[in-house]
A and B are shown apart, each in its own frame.
Chain A
């Protein structure tokens, strides 16, 4: 009997591991396809953008006709969109992401220098946003007092009404750190969704049954509410990475933080198209990895769904 149970358990674990590996592989394949497609889309947009062919150096009156022809020649390979994208991908394989037109530096160096700043600011901001949102949501749903609900809704509603860039400006005026602005931008989205999720979980019949049987509130929360709301919260965590990345543009640009967001803003203002293509691909990749990571985690935490 024991041997049978052991064999069954080992088999089910192997099956689960195999399914998770399969899911991870499928997700990675999908990510690669979407990133490649996204890259092609942004390369097409860049190539067809007005003024792509023009070069500021062409306005220099001291340049001879031959020099101007050489400048034109240097961009000849970029006329065909597919050729332009294939050349870009070939460069990426060899670790060459091109050179920024505006900053005159290799894109790879710029990304390597700036990424840690964004990761730190967004990381702390996300942590604070989740802490604040979950504390408020749990307080609201756990004690079920209208005052908490009104406070939470008003606070999140107020931050939802203020543009991200204004929150960044206010953080500059009040000399608050940039990650606080990120936290306040992301907080209302987490609060509203998690509050709805928790309220929905608390309203389900099995919670009423558990209460009727005399189970404590903490136990109900830990054993009956969180397992129901947890997977969707993990999915929300993946989405908030995307929200934080978007928020990092105004926050870094206005707070003077040298991260990816500020780089994207500078690239947009100076129409630095090669840099924009790379940033688009990078941000798409990070967002997709965060969402897929959340998806895989959900399936790892709910094996029953896998076997059904």
Chain B
């Protein structure tokens, strides 16, 4: 592991730990309104100032980071599991199953990702409780983000199906799910890990985009998307630079993820 990767790992871990300690670092919580100081600049009480309704921006950044950084991997887990199921099985079975799976993934991939997201998000109820909105948003990301990974996995599983050791296992009498679970799936692990890690930053960015467009996590729950939505009211960078804090944090975390994922994994 080179220096930049080590540094990136430390940054991601530090951000995760800090966000997990939000209850201690910002005991006031993300929803408490300090109505006497709305739109306040940074001070000892409010390190990043307050928003339009007087909520502590530092607390919101911490809780928002926690939500985005915990649920993006959860969504990535769902999408990778789906990709393993569709792509892995199709590649293992081959023939018409592989062609059908590829056709289905092509259908999914033919629509721009953000377009697909807002279309499906719009089909879900918009006036739901904040907690349900968080679950809907990240579940949609997980359920719709499997296609690209499935394509990669189907190719890998197809190659494994024709490999010598699978042929030998078949000749030894191993068939069906047992062959898939014992010999194919364990050999797909490196590809699965890579797809899982690649999906996390993609889902973080997708949630941010949905949040800014008003289709993400509902108020008062914070997430990077809803925090970045505040930039809409920004007139110039010089006036209130502290409002750019969530964006800076997002860029730092995303850069760290990029450094963590090697070039080969990104292009896989």
Contacts and interface: CB of A to CB of B under 8 A. Distances in A.
Do they bind each other? Answer: yes
B155 interface: no
A297 interface: no
A287 B112 contact: yes
Nearest to A253: B213
A50 B212 contact: no
Contacts of A166: 208, 212, 228, 231, 247
B172 interface: no
Given A157-B255, A165-B208, A166-B247, A173 B115 contact: no
B125 A50 contact: yes
Interface string B109-130: 0111111001111111110000
A63 interface: no
Contact of A169 (B107, B118, B212, B251): B212
Contacts of B126: 269, 271
B212 A165 contact: yes
Given A34-B110, A165-B228, A243-B112, A273 B212 contact: no
A242 interface: yes
A41 B213 contact: no
A264 B126 CA distance: 16
Interface string A170-188: 1001000000000000000
Interface in A74-99: none
A245 B112 contact: yes
Contacts of A173: 231, 234-237
A250 B213 contact: yes
Interface in A139-185: 157-158, 160-166, 169-170, 173
Interface stretch (A7-15, A104-112, A207-215, A276-284): A276-284
Nearest to B123: A49
A192 B266 CA distance: 10
A161 B228 contact: no
Interface in A40-94: 41-42, 45-46, 49-51
A161 B115 contact: no
Most A Cβ at <10 Å: residue of B103, B122, B124, B234: B122
Contact of B209 (A51, A165, A287): A165
Given A249-B118, A250-B212, A163 B110 contact: no
Interface string B94-116: 00000000010011001111110
B122 A269 contact: yes
A78 to B, nearest CB: 15
A165 B213 contact: yes
Contacts of A253: 213
B238 to A, nearest CB: 11
Nearest to B126: A271
A194 interface: no
A37 interface: yes
21 contacts: A34-B107, A37-B107, A38-B107, A45-B123, A162-B250, A163-B205, A163-B208, A164-B209, A165-B213, A165-B228, A166-B212, A169-B232, A196-B267, A245-B112, A246-B113, A264-B119, A267-B122, A268-B118, A271-B122, A276-B122, A287-B110
Among all A-B residue pairs, the 4 with the closest Cβ atoms: A246-B112, A268-B122, A161-B254, A165-B212
Given A268-B119, A283-B115, 15 more contacts: A50-B125, A158-B255, A161-B254, A163-B209, A243-B112, A246-B115, A247-B114, A249-B118, A254-B232, A265-B213, A268-B121, A269-B126, A271-B126, A280-B115, A287-B111
